[in-house]
A and B are shown apart, each in its own frame.
Chain A
Amino acid sequence: MILVKDNRCDFCGTCVAVCPVDAIELREADISIIHDTCIDCDICIWVCPIDVLSSDEKKEEVKHD
């Protein structure tokens, strides 16, 4: 599952543009991931210029080290 780190998104839309399944919704200052549509390909995480996206798997990895 893709997660948005709290209050750090700049709402630039780069992730929206590369999402292959249109699973990201962005308003003026509000972003949400449509989890039912998301295929966890992670490219939104890579392309985000300020690294505010993560996947919950990564979160666990972080916990373990």
Chain B
Amino acid sequence: MTDFDVIVVGGGPAGSMAAEAAARGGAKTLLLEKDRDIGYPVRCGEGVGASGLKQFIEPDPQWIAATISRVRMRSPDNTKVDFGMKDAGYVLHRRLFDYALANRAGNAGAEIQTRAYVDGLMVEEGAVKGVKYQYMGENRELSTKIVIAADGVESRVGRMAGMRTATKLRDMDSGYQATVGNVDIDQEMIDFFIGSNWAPGGYLWIFPKGNGMANIGLGVNGKVAKDFSAHDLTHKFLNEHFPKASILTSVCGGIPIAKTLKTITKDGIMLTGDAARMVNPVTGGGIITGMVGGRIAGEVAATALQTGDLTPNGFKDYPARWQKAEGKTHDGLHRVADAIFEITDEKLNKMAHRLAKIPPDELSLMKIFTAVARQKPSILIDVTRAFAGV
């Protein structure tokens, strides 16, 4: 007898979805979170697409900060390209949203423990058999049949199992964000600044948070992060564009814009969410994709417990279903990101001048990225596949 069937490490969206799915599938499940709080600190712009969200949970006014219907993209010379969003989006209060997801996992039967820092795995003959963790200065051990590592960008639990999770610099954006008040912005629009002046290799975002507040942050690509500080650029931007803004919170964080790890399972362990590098490589969005990955991992864990095959063979539906759902698209988007990287500010300006002439209701993400693909036709198929209907 093991203490648990499934132990999930990490209480973000991926971990909570995994724990919920495993518990619903009949597994005796425990979720361990190192921080004092589920959902805090919030290292996230908190933007999600509506249809992505609704496949998992009905939007609840308690954790919806703003509803988005318009998008603005700005080129380095501040040319504005505006268009409507076919699929409306939301800016969340993740602190409450993450709570809601964890609460749902708890209601499904999963046990949840905070202040529990996993610092090792029990491994026998190459197979993961349990976790070691610290709770309030006390070392504890629990045996389990399956570990689901949803430990976010750090992804150390996978390393403890001997998996390669380290991310290349090119595949990491160095991010910083301030949640600010007293800003006069359109509360239904998300606003992006692209180009090397504000966010070299990444982008700057303004996401409304209701009541005159906004998340304003940016990511600098790791390849050029040596020469730029995400913190300094954000504050420079705030000084220039919103000198009266009050800074209510500021956080930093890494956004792994990599392809999904080649190997996301090993004997007795599955990796999911940021830990498995499931973030959209172009947008840096990882909330919904982490939920997709987490739910599949939890479901496959529950099935594998029934068959008793706790090897990568028993888990093989997990990578297969992930590849079909998002992984394949992400591989293409990774190539698109590479192409965007190569576009000079001058070319971005030219593209923006052209696109700005198109009426907002005729413009779409698909059209914008097709313009990008014109710079590098080999990515046209990737663009079509990823943005059809968006």
| Other-chain contact of B252, A20, A43, A49 (Cβ < 8 Å) | A49
Please state if A47 and B222 are interface contacts (CB–CB under 8 Å).
yes
Residue contact B153 to A17, C-beta cutoff 8 Å? yes
Q: Is the CB of B254 within 8 A of A10?
A: no
List A residues 24-53 near B (Cβ within 8 Å). Answer: 26-28, 43, 45-51
- Per the bound structure, the CA–CA distance linking A18 and B165 in Å amounts to 9
Contacts of B226 in A (CB 8 A): 45-46
Q: Is B53 an interface residue (CB 8 A)?
A: no
A12 touches B252 (CB 8 A): yes
With A and B bound together, what is the CA distance between A10 and B230 in angstroms? Answer: 13
Residue from A22, A28, A51 within 8 A of B36 (CB atoms): A28
Contacts of B43 in A (CB 8 A): 12
Number of interface residues, chain B, beta carbon within 8 A: 35
Q: Indicate if the CB atoms of A17 and B167 lie closer than 8 Å.
A: yes
B285 within 8 A of A: no
Q: Which among B34, B36, B169, B175 is the interface contact of A18 at CB below 8 angstroms?
A: B169
- Contacts A46-B226, A49-B175 given: A16-B154 contact, CB under 8 Å? yes
One of B156, B222, B230 near A50 (C-beta < 8 A): B230
Q: Mark B201-233, 1 if CB is under 8 A from A, else 0.
A: 000000000000000000010100110011110
Q: Please, how many residues of chain A have a CB less than 8 angstroms from a CB on the other chain?
A: 22
* Interface of chain B, main secondary structure: mixed
Docked-complex contact A12 and B168, CB < 8 angstroms: no
Contact A47 B172 (CB under 8 A): yes
CB distance from A33 to the nearest CB of B (A): 14
Residues of A within 8 A of B154 (CB): 13, 16-17, 26
The answer for the CA separation of A27 and B133 in the assembled complex, in Å, is: 11
Docked complex Cα distance between A46 and B169 (Å) = 9
User: In the complex, A43 Cα to B256 Cα: how many Å?
Assistant: 15
B115 — which chain A residues lie within 8 A by C-beta? 28
Q: How far is the CB of B33 from chain A (nearest CB, A)?
A: 10
Q: A12-B251, A47-B172 are in contact. Are A22 and B153 (CB under 8 A)?
A: no
Q: Does A17 contact B172, Cβ atoms closer than 8 Å?
A: yes
* Residues of B contacting A15 in the complex (Cβ-Cβ under 8 angstroms): 254
User: Is B385 in contact with chain A by the CB < 8 A criterion?
Assistant: no
Structural contact, A12 and B253, CB atoms closer than 8 A: yes
Chain A's nearest CB lies how many Å from the CB of B329? 22
- Residues of A close to B35: CB separation below 8 A: 28
Among A19, A45, A47, A51: residue with most chain B CB under 10 A: A47
Q: Is the CB of A47 within 8 A of B36?
A: no
Quick one: which of B225, B229, B231, B256 contacts A17, CB cutoff 8 A?
A: B256
The reply to whether the CB of B176 lies closer than 8 angstroms to some CB of chain A is yes
What residues of chain A have their CB less than 8 Å away from a CB belonging to chain B? 10, 12-20, 22, 26-28, 43, 45-51
The 10 sampled A-B contact pairs (Cβ below 8 Å) are A13-B253, A18-B168, A18-B172, A28-B35, A28-B117, A47-B174, A48-B252, A49-B254, A51-B229, A51-B231
Q: A-contacting residues of B (Cβ < 8 Å)?
A: 34-36, 43, 115, 117, 134, 152-156, 159, 165-169, 172, 174-176, 220, 222, 225-226, 229-232, 251-254, 256
Give the top 7 A-B pairs by smallest Cβ distance, nearest first.
Answer: A14-B254, A49-B252, A46-B226, A49-B230, A13-B154, A16-B154, A50-B231
Given A10-B251, A13-B254, A46-B169, 9 new contacts (CB under 8 A): A12-B43, A14-B254, A16-B156, A17-B154, A17-B155, A18-B166, A47-B174, A49-B231, A50-B252
